[in-house]
Amino acid sequence: MLLSLNSFLILGAVLFSIGLFGALSKRNAVSVLMGIEIMLNAVNITLVAFGSSVVNPQFSGRLTGQIFAVFIITVAAAEAAVALAMIIAIYRQRSTVDVGDINMMKW
């Protein structure tokens, strides 16, 4: 075994943070969506890492984590579709996808 569980977990956490940073700092809505996708994939890495080294002997050998990750990938795809549709809709209305400018409603 070359890499310990912790390495993957740290990778996951770092990736999550990167995705979070992207999602919160990028102005372009598509970029924000990409950041979110990175976050979800960070979760996937974490899940798979956990799934491959289950600490609890009672549940060892089950692929729950991996299956969870597959579901997340699927749902994320759907989510991206919905989100992109929204982005297109907003672009049609305002000719911009800058999330910083989408602040008509506040206070």
Nearer to other proteins, 3 or 58 (CB): 58
Selected binder of other proteins within 10, 14, 52, 59 (CB under 8 A): 59
Determine, following the binding rule CB under 8 A, whether residue 78 of this chain makes contact with other proteins.
yes
In the bound complex, what is the minimum distance in angstroms from residue 2's beta carbon to other proteins?
20
The H or E element spanning position 12 is helix 5-25
- The Cα-based distances of 35 to 39, 44, 63, 64, 75 in angstroms read 6, 14, 27, 25, 16
Determine, following the binding rule CB under 8 A, whether residue 67 of this chain makes contact with other proteins.
yes
